[in-house]
Structure 1
Amino acid sequence: MKHEMISPNKDYPFKLFSFTSRNPDRLISTHWHESAELLYCLKGNLEVRFPQVTYLLEPGDTLFINSNIIHSSRSPLPNEVFVMQFPLKFLQEMTQNQYNDQFLFNLIPLKEKDEQLQTLLNQIFKDYQVNDLATNLLVKSRTLAVLSLLTEKYSIPLATKKTIKSLKHLERLKQVNEYVQINYNQSLKLEQVAEVFNYDPAYFSRFFKKYMGIPFSEYVNTVRLEKAYYQLRDTDMTVLDIAMANGFFSVKSFYNVFKKNYSLSPQQYRQKYFK
């Protein structure tokens, strides 16, 4: 779980990009960012997890992730996804300071697709990499059209920021995250981390599960697994060395966590996708 800083594209006050995942079950660990995010699934599937609900995006599906909402994702099938990320300041300027103060957006995958929204997103996806002024202006105008459509059809009232339960806890969660990111390759027992942050272990366990949506031990393994994934992909390190370098302390524990998340052993996954 990490706080992400998002920088806009050159020539735009927001960030546009697409990503593809060719490896099934590729995990993006739990994180949040102040920028809001719109996901548009073009091919395959993308599973997006929030603490209380999970959505499976199929081709043509859209999902809006509001500012500072904790989430993670994985790719059950090879996919292509178009992403629009809007800095909070930009959204507030475009909505007369009403977004995140008076309303949020509630755009989730539906059986009936919004053809008007799909048309706009397809046009933006087609044009956003063209580097000329006229096209840039079109992308900006269509992006504003997307925001207009979201405001008209998919906004929900926000009586108080307290309704976003995780907001007031993000700073403490960020501190816990930074501690885990630094010490992931060490022994990280729940009781030890609770003591570092002056929590009763039982309370810390409930607090973390409530606002992160997963137990603390599972989160630690997610961080370790993400580090190990890149070493499995980018280096010739043995599976034993990768396990030891990332805090698993035995090949068996690394094997069990990896297979639970990827349905293959580390060696099988490396042979199938990285050779």
Structure 2
Amino acid sequence: MLDAQVHDKLISYTDKELELLERNPDFKPTFTKRLKKEFFRDEHIFIVKQTRFIDIPLHSHEYIELVYVYQGKMRQVVNGKTIEQNQGEILLLNQFAQHEVEAATEDDIIINFIIEPEFIGRLISLFDNENLITEFILASINGKNRLGEHIHFKVGNCEELQQSVLKIINEIYSENILRQMRVNFLVGLLITELLANIESSDYYVSVNYTESLALMVLKYIDENYQNASLKVISDQLNQPNYKVSRLLKKFTGKTFSEILLEKRLERAIYLLKYTDYSIIDIINMTGYENASHFYRVFKEKYNVSIKEYRDNIRFVKAPYSIESED
């Protein structure tokens, strides 16, 4: 929950806003509290309230921008697409996105998180390939020689995410000597939480045709890992096998077989942790027909046998059944 004093500061006018309002003779402000010009700044992150009452012309940045609507709404055009963000929603723009923003009204409070690409790069290094689509989009957001890409997270009703953002805003105004460290940690946590909600959001990773094909192949593997086939997806895309293999290697650094194996191993790890299925059943459920081969690749990947892994992990009851998940 946002501190009441922090809320008052958010809705207060900045010097720039008062200057703009003074040009409007019909405006009679009810209060003239001023907000510090900057919220938060460190080496990699700058957080600031967007100036209201003025249109922002078409532009792009050399940084990644996370736009949060604290109250009201925000309208802008990103790469020719009109986007309206409602209260609580978040827009992630990469450093190549071009956008123009409609002037915010008095009731529209918008917070901009300006993030150096290096910060996102550190996050990428921590990801564990838990979601192929997430991994691809995260890499694309931080990629080089890419087109303007953005993700519209429609998370206004997600209480957990809202609390995460409010914690950051509260921390910005705190006097805690560890404020800088805490804000960095909380922003990193927010981004990982957003990516966990990516499939319920609108994402535009590229208008490049070959990149779109790569994403379609990753989605196919994610949904059909038990019996995924390069030939099947190639036929669906009306592309030769070699072309699909080549574009996957180009945009992920991995072959179709390597990605499929990672997905099956990821699924096996989940089943080992959260179910009591036998090891043979788990191998079959991941789509592997050759159990001895799966034993070998599992040990190569994790440096322990599949049985040793299960014996060493703490059994945690799954939050939902396998049947309900499917």
Name the TM tier (shorter chain). 0.3 to 0.5
Normalised to the residue count of structure 2, the TM-score between the two structures is 0.40
Q: Which has the larger radius of gyration?
A: 2
Task: Name the one with the larger strand percent.
Answer: 1
